[in-house]
Every structure is written in C-alpha cells, then in structure tokens.
Chains A and B, each alone.
Chain A
C-alpha cells in the first residue's frame, strides 16, 4: 500500500512539473508580450523604460532560468505577482477559490443525490418501461452542452419566473439564503450532465451485480427488494461510479469555466478567462498549475478510495 502511494506521489509531482513547464513555455512562445500587460502601449515608446521594466520583472533571462526561479518561489507558496494589478497572485486565488469549490461541490453532491437512486432503480428495472424512459432521458441530458442547460435555466427560472438571480454571486458570508440562491442555477446546470453520466454508469454496474449469486440467496432469504438493492447491491456497484466522479472533475473544471462566464460568477474560472485575455501570465500560470494539481490529486485519491471500497483490488496490488 505504501509502495503504491509512493509511486503515485512521484507521478503526481512529475505531472505537476511537466504541466507547469509546458504552460510556462507556452505563455512565452505564443504571441503576446507580457510587457503589454505591465505598461500601457503609449508608454512603450520609451525604449529605456521598457528595458528597465523587462529587467525588473526578469523577462530578459533565459526561459529555463525564469522557470527555475518561478518553481523555487512556488514551492515556498509564492506564486508571484499579477502583471496587471501587481497584487500577489495567491491573495486573489484564496479569495476566489472557495467560490469555484463550492460550485463544484454542490454540483457533484446534488448529482450523486439524484443519480444513485436513479441508477440503482434503472438497474433493478432493466428493460422495463421505467428504465427505458429514464435511460432515454439520461441520454438526452448527456447531449445538452453545459451552456445550453445554463441558458435554459436562466431563461425559465431567472428571467421568466424571477425565482433566482440570473447573474452574480452572494458569498456565504452574505447569509445562507442568498448564497444558496446564487449557487442553485449554476450548480444545477453543471449537475444535469453529471446526473446523466453517473446514472448510466451505476445502472450498468448494478445490472451486473444483481446477477450475482449472493443477491439470489438474499432474495431466497426473503429480504425486501429495497433492502437488497441498497444494502447488498449498491456497494459493489459503486466502483466505476467512484472512478467516473474522479475522472469527471476535469470535465467539471472546464464546465465551471463556462458556467462562471455565463452567470458572471467571480470564481477561479472567470479569473483565468480574464487573465488570459489580459495576458496576465503570472495569474494564468498559477491558476493552471493549481487546477492541474487539484485534478491529479483527485485522481490519485480516487484510486485510493477504489482500493478501500473493493478489498479485491487491495489484495491483487
């Protein structure tokens, strides 16, 4: 177990280094001079001033040197200063991260709440009319792009019914009610696709589990269907679902970028989007690396959870 953990951690560190290096090189190779973010265009006529700024920010050093310096600082928790605002990048990230995390957590939690009963039920009723109906709806949900779902929800529940705000965000510190109101529609837009994916995954595993002999013996004992489904059938069927929830985090991150753009939520995704447009490379670099670290950690954790849920995997490893 500890050996697996060691291998996993090494790979995690390697991935982060490779991704941060690629992003770093990317920001420097692609067109767009960071000087444009630092000083206005008309001030750039002054060549000496531009040179001075370049020197000050270390833009004239070879790229490997600059990357090394960035990495050295990053390890110590210093992700540099924003090229646009001059503020430490970490400050802004800690300010915005909770918003994105809340959005994603609510979306995943809500999806699981809906998808686990649905998946178990459709697996139990395989081939019946209710299964065909729900599975068909799941396929439709899978075909709705996140931004279309978001727009439909905005139109119906914000613009027409006025139940929720169409755009903007209320923090948890503004009170639970307003916060829940602003998280509802964005999280639901993200959740629709997730519910569809989770339901399908759980359904197919459930079908396989329900064919096992111990389910038959449980049935022979006279246990109720509901008890068998949730006490005997659910746990062994959760394996793939756990993996998919982990893998889908990457999708959720992308989705939250779109949703934050659509609902004008001041989260990490929206900041990344504006940082890219402003050529604020320090900010782009920091957020990208943060997202990758988060993604890789979630996937590593998923694999470990996998081992906890299924003793068979623990033994073979």
Chain B
C-alpha cells in the first residue's frame, strides 16, 4: 500500500500470467533449435552425461568397427606372421592398448567384443518386448483360462535358475554362434517380460479409454492392438533398460565360462578368461576388458536409474 492509500502500482504481470510459457521453446516446442534430445541431455547430472557419452562411443565403435581406419584385425596374431608385433606388449603406436598373450591387438578385440555383448543384449530385450509383450497383453486383457495357464507356466519357468539352464543348453548344443546364443537366451527371457506386460495390461484394461473404445463398438482384437499394447510398451521399455546391463553381464559370464561365442571370436568375458592364467605375467589383457565391461554396465545402470527418477518425478507432478 502506498502512503496515499492508493492501490499499489502494478509493475509486474499477475502471477497467473507469469505462469505461462517462459520462453519460445515452451510456447513452440522445437522452435529454439534445441531438440527434445538436447533438452533431455541438458537435464542429466554430469555423471549420467558421461555415462551416456560412453555408451554412444561403445555403440558407435561396435557398429562401425569395420569402418574404423587403422583398426587391427581382432584375430590377427602378429608374431605368427612376423610383422614385429610381440606378445604381451604394452601400449605402442600401432597397438594403443597393447597386445595379448598371442599378440592380438587388445583395442580391436575390445571393440569387436562390444559387438557380441550389445547384439546379445539388445536382441534379447527385443525378443522380450515382442514375445512377452504380446503374451502378457493377451493374458492381461482377455483373462480367463488362457491367463491362468500362461501365468502358471511363467511362474514355473521363473523358478528355474536361468544361468544353469543356459550353461546346460549351450554345452549340449556344442555349436555356439551369436544367433544360437540369442535363441537359447530367448527361452529364458520371455517369462519376466510376460509377467510385467500382464500386470500393466490389467491396469490399462480398467482405464476409461478402453471402456470408451468398447462402447463405440471397437472389436476386442483391435482394442488389444490399438489401446492395450501401446500402453504396455513404455513399461516394457523401462524394464528392458534395467535388463540390458544384466544381459551384458550374462553374456560376459557365459563367455568367461567358455560357453559364449566360440573362440577366436572376441568377447569381453572370453578375453578375461583367457588372460586370467597369466595375471602375474601381464595383467593388462584382463584389465582392459574388465574395465570396459564395468564401465558399460555401470553406464546402463546409471542411465536406467536416472530415467526412473525422472519418470517418478513426472508422475508425482501429475
């Protein structure tokens, strides 16, 4: 109040107006030149940013391994072919991370090994989303006998220790390329995804928009495809982000046991297994893959945690 008893001069817009869009980006998304992706990245804490960049580096180098100029052949044993490469070399200009006990380039093997880990993890996540998502959505929406039988099967399947089953089947098969490993992994990946998809489908089925779709005469099949599945998908994607590091550890563990992709194909677990006999002679062929494996798994975990807190914050805001 001013001294004259007059109402105060309004110098700023009422708070109601101020609560509107604060900048052009908020008024017209995408207009500021910053993409949604740039915004997302900007919001990350610094450690998550580093993790994200590391994952991009790993994915890109694995995908483009064949195109990287000057990258050695991961299976080329220099000392056999007499080009001067020594076994157990330290870092040199031609071998940035040195060589292993049969003089193969460690950096090249790391990069090609990333390929095995990533293809295994991403393919299995995709299988889980597609198979588990379909089965779980059907069970959660159609209910009935099918649901009872399917869920009993899922519960039984989940009580079987997966690593033991994987070791069992991969040993029996004898032939182990990446395709076989993914197919065997698929046997064990679908139940957990099915369970989550079914739980989500159950809650989605109770939503008003499903009732509305039913009311306007949409067929049950169409509701499943158009209403249920798209709403189950986000939950499965979130779950698969948490599952990726677990799958990478699984692949490296199998390789470590000598049951991953067949040698000489490079894999992180296989490299560690091969190097562990010579730890006292040269520890580096074990250190590099172990560090890479740890950083990759940690990055996925850190990113998944961040996504989870973001999602929790958003649902709390709503």
Bound Cα distance from A22 to B269, whole angstroms: 29
Q: A291 touching B272 by the CB < 8 A rule?
A: no
Bound Cα distance from A254 to B188, whole angstroms: 14
Known: A15-B159, A30-B172. A147 touches B164 (CB 8 A): no
Interface assignment of B73: CB less than 8 Å from any CB of chain A? no
Bound Cα distance from A19 to B158, whole angstroms: 10
Interface assignment of B46: CB less than 8 Å from any CB of chain A? no
Q: A144 touching B294 by the CB < 8 A rule?
A: yes
Q: A139 touching B302 by the CB < 8 A rule?
A: yes
Stretch at the interface among A119-127, A219-227, A292-300: A292-300
Name the residue on B nearest A151 (C-beta). B276
Q: Which of A270-288 contact B (CB under 8 A)?
A: 272-273, 276-277, 284, 288
Q: B171 touching A146 by the CB < 8 A rule?
A: no
Q: Is the interface of A mostly helix, strand, loop or mixed?
A: helix
Contact with B along A1-41 (1 / 0, CB 8 A): 00000000001001100110011001100111000000000
Q: Which of B29-81 contact A (CB under 8 A)?
A: none
Q: B159 touching A296 by the CB < 8 A rule?
A: yes
Inside 8 A of B169's CB, which chain A residues have their CB?
A: 26, 30
Bound Cα distance from A273 to B286, whole angstroms: 23
Interface assignment of B162: CB less than 8 Å from any CB of chain A? yes
Inside 8 A of B280's CB, which chain A residues have their CB?
A: 159
Known: A30-B173, A147-B253. A291 touches B164 (CB 8 A): yes
Q: Which of B281-318 contact A (CB under 8 A)?
A: 283, 286, 290, 293-294, 297-298, 301-302, 305
Bound Cα distance from A97 to B164, whole angstroms: 16
A28 to chain B minimum Cβ distance, whole angstroms, is 10
Interface assignment of A253: CB less than 8 Å from any CB of chain B? yes
Interface assignment of A250: CB less than 8 Å from any CB of chain B? yes
Q: A143 touching B298 by the CB < 8 A rule?
A: yes
Known: A15-B159, A155-B283. A147 touches B305 (CB 8 A): no
Q: B161 touching A291 by the CB < 8 A rule?
A: yes
Inside 8 A of A148's CB, which chain B residues have their CB?
A: 272, 290, 293-294
Interface assignment of A109: CB less than 8 Å from any CB of chain B? no
Q: Is the interface of B mostly helix, strand, loop or mixed?
A: helix
Q: B160 touching A19 by the CB < 8 A rule?
A: yes
Interface assignment of A67: CB less than 8 Å from any CB of chain B? no
Bound Cα distance from A30 to B169, whole angstroms: 8
Q: B294 touching A257 by the CB < 8 A rule?
A: no
Interface assignment of A183: CB less than 8 Å from any CB of chain B? no
Inside 8 A of B252's CB, which chain A residues have their CB?
A: 145, 147
Name the residue on B nearest A30 (C-beta). B172
Bound Cα distance from A295 to B162, whole angstroms: 12
Inside 8 A of B302's CB, which chain A residues have their CB?
A: 139
- Chain B residues with a Cβ under 8 A of chain A: 152, 155-156, 159-164, 167-169, 171-174, 245, 249, 252-253, 256-257, 269, 272, 276, 279-280, 283, 286, 290, 293-294, 297-298, 301-302, 305
Given contacts A31-B174, A139-B305, 19 further A-B contacts (CB under 8 A): A15-B155, A19-B156, A26-B168, A27-B172, A143-B245, A143-B294, A146-B253, A147-B253, A147-B269, A147-B272, A155-B279, A253-B161, A254-B164, A258-B253, A258-B256, A261-B257, A288-B164, A288-B168, A295-B161
- Chain A residues with a Cβ under 8 A of chain B: 11, 14-15, 18-19, 22-23, 26-27, 30-32, 139-140, 142-148, 151-152, 154-155, 159, 250, 253-254, 257-258, 261, 272-273, 276-277, 284, 288, 291-292, 295-296, 299
Sample of 7 A–B contacts (CB below 8 Å): A26-B172, A31-B173, A146-B253, A147-B252, A159-B280, A254-B162, A295-B161
